[in-house]
Amino acid sequence: MKKGMWISFLLFFVLSLFSFIQYMENRQYEKYLSQQLFNDVSSVAWSTTLNSFLLDDLMTEKKINSNQLAIMKSHYKRMTESSRTIVELAESLGLIDEEYPSSPYPVYMVVEFREFVKSLEKQMEKESLSLSNEDIERLHVMKELNQVWFTAVQDHIQGVHVPDEDQVINGGVSSMDNGVTTDIYKDVYWGVIINNKDWVNMVKQIQGDSQSFEDEIEQFFR
């Protein structure tokens, strides 16, 4: 009888230990995903917000200098990499429907924009490059889509601040007090964003509202 009780106790202990280890591993993995997601959502918030100022300047000036080109390359690199990670995570967790013509949708659009920026880089022989009417039309499409993504961030992500125009300097902000993601963002999402639906709703809005740009992407960038 005692032997049977000891065996039962041992089995219970082993199962409990195994469950605890699994729980801790899941918590660590969840923490890791939250950290990555926290950084990627912040990256999309920063790049779309600051990119909006830059695109306005370029369409007004109708030229681009080497510094602006480098900044725009950086913005679209961040937008491409971070948005791909975010959408793929939402897909892998089954949080969004994979009903779009490409995956991860609509990342291909900003990939096309990156290619356009590279083409401008190849044309630049001096410190600045005059933009053609066709270039301006492309920038207009880029601005409109950027606004769609920017609006989705603003609508769903807490603690996102839009700096004043005079606080935006060389593609960044004059001080972290004027930063795009604030302490509120950190307080709300640090370590737990994976379990918050705000980022999922942001993705759904970006996907839905980006569909209307498919024809323009095809016309101007392919």
> Which residues, in sequence order, are CB contacts of 68 under 8 Å at separation 6+?
54, 57, 58, 171
Greater model confidence, 20 or 84 = 84
Q: From 220, 52, 54, select the one nearest 137 (Cα to Cα).
A: 220
- Eight-state DSSP code of residue 100: S
| Lowest mean pLDDT, pick from 42-46, 170-174, 192-196 | 170-174
Say if residue 163 is preceded by a cis peptide, omega within 30 of 0. no
Burial string for 63-79 (b: 16+ CB within 10 Å, else e) reads ebeeebbebbebbbebb
pLDDT digit string, tens, across residues 178-212: 789 999 999 999 999 999 999 999 999 999 999 99
pLDDT at 180: 92
Q: Which residue's structure tokens are 């900003």? A: 110
Domain boundaries, the chain: 41-221
| Lowest mean pLDDT, pick from 29-43, 109-123, 170-184 | 170-184
- Number of Cβ atoms within 10 Å of the Cβ of 207: 19
